Amino acid sequence: MIEFHLDDRTGLSPYLQLVRQVRQALRVGLLREGDQLPTVKEVVSSLAINPNTVLKAYRELEHEGLVAARPGVGTFVTATLADTSLAAHEPLRQELRRWLARARRAGVDDESIEALFMTTFRSATDGEVGIA
Amino acid sequence: MSAVLRAQELGKSYGRVRALSDCTLDVPAGRVVGLVGPNGAGKTTLLNLAVGLLTPTSGTIEVLGERPAAGPEQLAKVGFVAQGAPTYANLSVEDHLRLGARLNPGWDDAVARDRIGRLGLDLSQRAGKLSGGQRAQLALTLGVAKRPELLILDEPVASLDPLARREFLQDLMEAVAEHGLSVVLSSHLVSDLERVCDYLIVLVASQVQLAGDIETLMATHHRLSGPRRDPARLPDDQRVISASHTDRQSTFLVRTDAPILDPSWTVGQVGLEDLVLAYMGHTTNPPPDRPTERPKLEVQR
Amino acid sequence: MIWLTWRQLRTGTVIVGAAVAALAALLALTGPGVAHDYAAAIAACAEPAGACSAVGRFFDRNQMAWLAVTAIVLVVPPLIGAFWGAPLVSRELEAGTHRLAWTQSVTRTRWLAVKLGLTGLTAVAVAGLCSLAVTWWAGPLDHSGDMARIEPLEFASRGVVPVAYAAFALALGATAGLLIRRPLPAMAVTLALFVTAQIAMPILVRPHLLSPTRSTVAMTEASVDTFAFGPDHALRVSASAAPRGAWVLSSHAVDPSGKRVSPITISAASGPCARPGSPGGPADSPPGVTGPDGDPLVTGCLAELQRLGYRIESTYHRASRFWPFQWYEAGIYTLAALGLAGICFWRIRRVPA
């Protein structure tokens, strides 16, 4: 069962945070097809947020075709986002570890590493149209 | 959905002191309404008017379609926890539950006992010996177990420590999820309300400055920053809520339904707390627009 | 609502109930003994060679107990007013619990009606029981004592009026509490107003509820209480034309034309009222029941006053008026209680939060 958390500082509205957390869980295989999402009552009672927020998030996920609500029973996962790319995760993770080690050996501090990654990631995403 | 609270130019004065003036509201059902404003702004007065503890000196107020405290049926539909969560100090928790059962035809004893059990309150303990948080929870139980359509809470978490505060709100939201209540809760701290409310009323200096669905408010308020400009030169469909200037830069908080088309602005979202603070800076009604002096912005193709 | 009112009253009622029960038991146990003693003393006096001293001493022997029970009945109504009436509404207003009570599913009016009604019934029961027990127990003592039942002090502590006083005090306390909104000042105001009413009633109102009897009688040794020449050589006579057990409103000497005279101007230096051996001195031996050998000077002086036409005129209410007064006064206080309760019901709807 997935456990939600909210970060007041991200500037992202609560319901979008919930949606995102479900998608991420699906992606890494934490949530699989047929798993039940926590009930509105459970989420609300652990996070102290408005029930409508949870309902909205679940409706959004349903709209995206990821979950389906079964009245009287609960909300269940119907699709998965974990695709074939999951297989590629492990070698990529190893490469990333090696890159991080190199950056540290070169004396780059953590903040600079993060900034370096983010700016490269953003510019690569923006210019993605040109990449095959 | 019908309105859960409707006020028309509602006012309450004590002699020459105006506690509330010219208050017009139309709050839809099914919301968790946050009533926010500085101390002395009139929040308690408004809530007391809503439950019939006070009568208006001008204007009208209707709760669930009827005059507040019009009769036993209307009283049964509204639950109330007053500021400070008053309880009978000499009566035990068990006595309070019996009080609720005897005084409320709609009382759900199973809900009440279940809540008390989960909260871990000792039934035989006198209410005077409970902590502030426990008293607030007891009062909330009394309010919820009578199965109202609307629950009104006056600063329910004001005197609670952060843990008790979080537990209270968790409990409240669970009750909302389970029973489908509408809730109106007041606070002078916006952070309490952000996660929990989906409708906001800002009360400053005994007048309503802002009222609406939080989602709509978030979508229609924007922070504009850019080169220094006179607010009178902004388009008239953008209402300036607050403005601040340095010698080179201006930042405005505006309210508008239309999109921001002027490319010289950097447009950003406004957080709920900043929004409320901006409105709390108004000591009187929001300054009136001066439509004749401001240009209409047109898109030139 | 009945449950809640009972629960709030519970401790007080239990304590008071126990006290009243104890009192009633005590009186029930000792009452027959008192009555028996009195009957024996009367019987002893009625015999031809009877010793009537026992009758005279009877009241004195039981005086402390008599004072105690009279005091209890007098004090019950104001205590009810102060401790049950004044906090009835004001304690809730002060503690803010009215914000809890008035937002359940009962209206303010019903809340007040049950609280006032239930407390009122309890007050009436307590006062009634006390008065009943004491009136019964003190019967023989009231008969043998100097004070008449119809006189103010005894009147207020016997019969039905204590019940009406209790209802009035309760309503007075509740109204004061509602208007003042704090228990302690309300208690003080209730006590002050109640005491004022209790003092004013026998002085200003009760004497006029029925028209009193006015009668005159000759000055004899039997009717005259005190008889003295003052320093100004004027004669002051204190006497009563009223029968035993009456409530005397006023009593004074009148001259032949019916005009009130006090003091009587008659020469103390010469004539029948002068004392031999001290020219102009006072003849101030008070007459009383001194037996067949009265002071011949006093007898002579009185005879002279009679010859001159001086009489005693008294205004009084006969002892038989006791019960009519009781019912009238109970009615007045009950109406006052209902009026105050009406004020409470009217004002409760306008109490600010």
pLDDT tens-place string over residues B65-114 = 899 988 899 999 999 999 989 999 999 999 999 999 999 999 999 999 99
Q: C232-242 in b/e burial notation, b at 16+ Cβ within 10 A?
A: eeebebebbbb
* Distance (Å) of CA C202 to CA A122, C150, C152, C346: 100, 11, 6, 31
pTM of the model: 0.81
User: Burial of B234 by CB count in 10 Å (0-12 exposed, 13-18 middle, 19+ buried)?
Assistant: buried
Query: Residues of B with CB below 8 A from C108's CB?
Result: 69
Average pLDDT of chain B, as a whole number = 86
Nearest CA in chain B to A52: B198
Q: Which of A13, A50, A59 to mutate to test the interface with B (most CBs of B within 10 A)?
A: A50
Q: Where does the pLDDT of residue C191 fall: very low under 50, low under 70, confident under 90, or very high at 90 and above?
A: very high
Residues with Cβ < 8 Å from A36, sequence gap 6 or more?
A1, A74, A75, A76, A77
Q: What is the mean pLDDT of residues C93-98?
A: 93
**What is the per-residue pLDDT across A29-75, written as a single tens digit (0 to 9) for each?**
788 888 889 999 999 989 889 999 899 999 999 888 888 888 888 88
Distance from CA of B62 to the nearest CA of C (A): 16
Check the CA dihedral A25-A28-A34-A35 and report its sign. negative
Q: How many Å apart are CA C275 and CA C285, to the nearest integer?
A: 10
What is the CB neighbour count within 10 angstroms for residue A118?
10
pLDDT at B149: 93
Indicate the residue of B177, B269, B271 with minimum beta-carbon distance to A40.
Answer: B177
**C95 touching B, CB under 8 A?**
yes
- DSSP codes joined into one string, C77-107: HHHHIIIIIHHHHHHHHHHTTHHHHTTSSS-
Lowest mean pLDDT segment, chosen from B216-220, B266-270, C74-78: B266-270
Which ranges in chain B belong to alpha helices (H)? 43-50, 72-77, 93-103, 109-119, 132-145, 162-179, 190-194, 214-220, 272-280
Is B41's pLDDT higher than 70? Answer: yes
Amino acid at A53: T
Q: What is the mean pLDDT of residues C6-33?
A: 90
Q: Which helix (H) or strand (E) holds C199?
A: helix C183-200
Nearest CA in chain B to A15: B195
Which ranges in A67-131 belong to alpha helices (H)? 85-105, 110-126
Q: Which helix (H) or strand (E) holds A21?
A: helix A14-27
Contacts of C among chains (3+ CB pairs under 8 A): B
Distance from CA of B202 to the nearest CA of A (A): 19
Mean pLDDT comparison of B217-231, B257-271, C117-131, highest-scoring range = C117-131
Contact (CB<8Å) C352/B14: yes
Average pLDDT of chain A, as a whole number = 84
Contact (CB<8Å) B177/A49: no
Q: What is the mean pLDDT of residues B206-220?
A: 89
Strand partners, A74: A70
pLDDT at C76: 94
In the structure, how many helices (H) and strands (E) does chain B have? 9, 13
Contact (CB<8Å) B95/C7: yes
Query: Residues of B with CB below 8 A from C102's CB?
Result: 52-53, 69
Lowest mean pLDDT segment, chosen from B174-178, B204-208, B229-233: B229-233
Q: Where does the pLDDT of residue B44 fall: very low under 50, low under 70, confident under 90, or very high at 90 and above?
A: very high
Query: Residues of C with CB below 8 A from B78's CB?
Result: 103
Nearest CA in chain C to B85: C100
Q: How many Å apart are CA B50 and CA B74, to the nearest integer?
A: 11
Q: Where does the pLDDT of residue A84 fall: very low under 50, low under 70, confident under 90, or very high at 90 and above?
A: low
A and C adjacent (3 or more CB pairs under 8 angstroms): no
pLDDT at B104: 92
Q: How many Å apart are CA B202 and CA B282, to the nearest integer?
A: 11
Is C252's pLDDT higher than 60? Answer: yes
Query: Residues of A with CB below 8 A from B173's CB?
Result: 44-45, 48-51
Indicate the residue of B170, B218, B271 with minimum beta-carbon distance to A48.
Answer: B170
Is A90's pLDDT higher than 80? Answer: no
Q: What is the mean pLDDT of residues B129-135?
A: 89
Q: Percentage of chain A with pLDDT > 70?
A: 89
Mean pLDDT comparison of A62-66, B41-45, C196-200, C214-218, highest-scoring range = C196-200
Q: What is the mean pLDDT of residues A100-126?
A: 88
Strand partners, B251: B225, B244
Is A118's pLDDT higher than 60? Answer: yes
Query: Residues of B with CB below 8 A from C110's CB?
Result: 72
**What is the per-residue pLDDT across B159-197, written as a single tens digit (0 to 9) for each?**
788 888 888 888 889 989 888 889 999 987 787 788 899
- Show which of residues 187-246 on chain C sit within 8 Å of chain B, judged by CB atoms: none
**What phi and psi values does residue B64 have, to the nearest 5 degrees?**
55, 40
Query: Residues of A with CB below 8 A from B197's CB?
Result: 50
pLDDT at C39: 83
Contact (CB<8Å) C96/B79: no
Q: How many Å apart are CA B208 and CA B16, to the nearest integer?
A: 19
Q: How many Å apart are CA C17 and CA A11, to the nearest integer?
A: 67
Is B217's pLDDT higher than 70? Answer: yes
Distance from CA of A126 to the nearest CA of B (A): 20
**What is the per-residue pLDDT across C37-68, written as a single tens digit (0 to 9) for each?**
888 887 877 776 666 776 767 777 788 888 89
Strand partners, B269: B222
Distance from CA of C54 to the nearest CA of B (A): 55
Is B210's pLDDT higher than 50? Answer: yes
Check the CA dihedral B277-B282-B286-B291 and report its sign. negative
pLDDT at C187: 96
Query: Residues of A with CB below 8 A from B172's CB?
Result: 48
Distance from CA of C123 to the nearest CA of B (A): 22
Q: Which of A45, A47, A58, A60 to mutate to test the interface with B (most CBs of B within 10 A)?
A: A45
Contact (CB<8Å) B177/A47: no
**C250 touching B, CB under 8 A?**
no
Q: What share of chain A is helix, strand, coil (3-state, %, to 5)?
A: 60, 10, 35
Q: How many Å apart are CA B275 and CA B269, to the nearest integer?
A: 10
pLDDT at C281: 42
**Short-list A42, C103, A54, CA closest to B151:** C103
pLDDT at C277: 45
Output the CA torsion A20→A26→A28→A29 (10° steps).
Answer: 160
Contacts of A among chains (3+ CB pairs under 8 A): B
Distance from CA of A76 to the nearest CA of B (A): 19
Q: What is the mean pLDDT of residues C105-112?
A: 92
pLDDT at C271: 67
**Cβ atoms B98, C3 nearer than 8 A:** yes
pLDDT at C239: 75
Distance from CA of B174 to the nearest CA of A (A): 5
Check the CA dihedral C197-C198-C199-C204 and report its sign. positive
Q: Where does the pLDDT of residue C270 fall: very low under 50, low under 70, confident under 90, or very high at 90 and above?
A: low
Tokens of C310: 């001086």
Q: Which of B168, B195, B272, B275 to mutate to test the interface with A (most CBs of A within 10 A)?
A: B195
Indicate the residue of C7, C105, C108 with minimum beta-carbon distance to B91.
Answer: C7
Contact (CB<8Å) A48/B166: yes
**Short-list B164, B148, B64, CA closest to B105:** B148
Residue indicated by tokens 């408004």: B46
Q: Percentage of chain C with pLDDT > 90?
A: 43
pLDDT at B162: 86
Q: What is the mean pLDDT of residues B4-17?
A: 90
Check the CA dihedral B92-B98-B102-B106 and report its sign. positive
Query: Residues of B with CB below 8 A from A48's CB?
Result: 166, 169-170, 172-173, 195-196
Distance from CA of B218 to the nearest CA of C (A): 35
The ipTM value here is 0.85
Query: Residues of B with CB below 8 A from A49's CB?
Result: 173, 195-196
Contacts of B among chains (3+ CB pairs under 8 A): A, C
Distance from CA of A53 to the nearest CA of B (A): 9
**What is the per-residue pLDDT across B12-29, written as a single tens digit (0 to 9) for each?**
998 888 889 889 999 999
Q: Where does the pLDDT of residue A101 fall: very low under 50, low under 70, confident under 90, or very high at 90 and above?
A: very high
